[in-house]
Structure 1
Amino acid sequence: MHTQDRDTRLAEAVALRERGDREEARDRLVALTADHPDDPEIAYQTAWAHDVLGLEAQAVPYYEKALATEGLGTEDRRGALLGLGSTYRTLGRYEDAVTTLRRGTEEFPDDGALGAFLAMALYNTGRHHDSTRLLLRLLAETSEDPEVRRYRAALTYYAEDLDRVEG
C-alpha cells in the first residue's frame, strides 16, 4: 500500500467518525489496520473508533498496540494514554488504569484531564486520600471561580495532608 493511499483512507475514516458515522468509520479503520498492522496512528484511531461506540473491551488491544511502539505523535500519544487508562477504568481494570494514567500524568504533567481520570482510578482502588489530594490540586491550579482562586493557597496546602489539624 502506498503512503498516500494510507493517508487518504485514514483521513476519510477520521472524518466519518467526526461527522458521526461511527460504525462506518470503525469498519474502515479495522480494514486499514489489517493492511497496516504495525502502524501506531492507525491503531490509535481504531481504538478511538471502538471507544466512541461503547466497545471498550475491543478498543484495548488497539490502544495497547498504539502505545507499544514509537511513532505516535505527541497529541495522539496523550489521547491514547487517556483513552486506554479511561477504558481500563471503565472495564474495572483499576490498577491498569492507575498505571497507565500515572504514566500519562508523568509525560504530560499539565494535562488536567489525565489528572482527573487518574483521580477517579485512584478512588476505584480505594486510595481516596490520593484521589482527593489530586483533585484538590487540580481544582486549585485550574479553577477560574473567584472564590476558589481566593482560597487557592489553602487548598494547595491542605491537599498535601487532609488529616492535618492545626493547633
Structure 2
Amino acid sequence: MDHMIEKASQLRHTGQAKEARKLLLEALEQEPKDAELWYQTAWTHDSLGLEREAVPFYEKSLGMALSAESRRGAILGLSSTYRVLGEYGKAMEGLLMELAETTADISIQEYSRAIQYYADKLDQIEE
C-alpha cells in the first residue's frame, strides 16, 4: 500500500489531484483499515477544494493508528478544514488538544489539563 500512497502523493504534487483521489478511493475499498490511506484521501480532497468531503476521511484516520507525523498532519489538516468551513471552535479545539498532548514546553505542560478542559468550551462565557 505504501507504493499506492507514494503514487497518489506524486499525482497530487504534480497537479493531478483528481487522479490521486480516484486511486486512493479505490485503494480504500481494498484496504479500509489503513489509517494512512484515510489521511491521504482527506488531504487529497482538501487539495481539490472538497473540504466538507475531507472531514470524514480526516476523522476516520484520527480514530486509527497513524504515525506521529501523519497524526500531526491530520490534526492540522482537519483544523484548517474546519476553519475554511467556518467552524472556528472545532478548528481551535483540535489544535489546542494536540498542543496540550504533545508539547515539550514545560510552561505549556503546566496548563495542559486546563487547555484540554477548555478546548471545546471556547465559546462559553463564565458567569
TM surpasses 0.5: yes
- 1:104 offset after TM fit, Å? 2.1
What TM-score, normalized to structure 2?
0.76
Kept in 1, the 8 Å contact 2:89–2:123? The answer is: no
Runs (5+) with no aligned partner, structure 2 = 105-118
Counterpart of 1:68, as a letter, is G
Matched, 1:91 2:88: no
Residue 142 of structure 1 corresponds to which residue in structure 2?
none
Kept in 2, the 8 Å contact 1:78–1:108? The answer is: no
Residue 35 of structure 1 corresponds to which residue in structure 2?
30
Aligned residue pairs total: 108
What TM-score, normalized to structure 1?
0.59
State how far apart, in whole Å, the 2-side matches of 1:95 and 1:44 are: 22
Residue 95 of structure 2 corresponds to which residue in structure 1?
101
State how far apart, in whole Å, the 2-side matches of 1:103 and 1:34 are: 31
Residue 65 of structure 1 corresponds to which residue in structure 2?
60
State how far apart, in whole Å, the 2-side matches of 1:81 and 1:98 are: 10
| Aligned-CA RMSD value | 2.0
Counterpart of 2:40, as a letter, is Q
State how far apart, in whole Å, the 2-side matches of 1:18 and 1:44 are: 16
Residue 41 of structure 2 corresponds to which residue in structure 1?
46
Counterpart of 1:35, as a letter, is Q
Residue 7 of structure 2 corresponds to which residue in structure 1?
12
State how far apart, in whole Å, the 1-side matches of 2:68 and 2:28 are: 21
Structure number with larger C-alpha Rg = 1
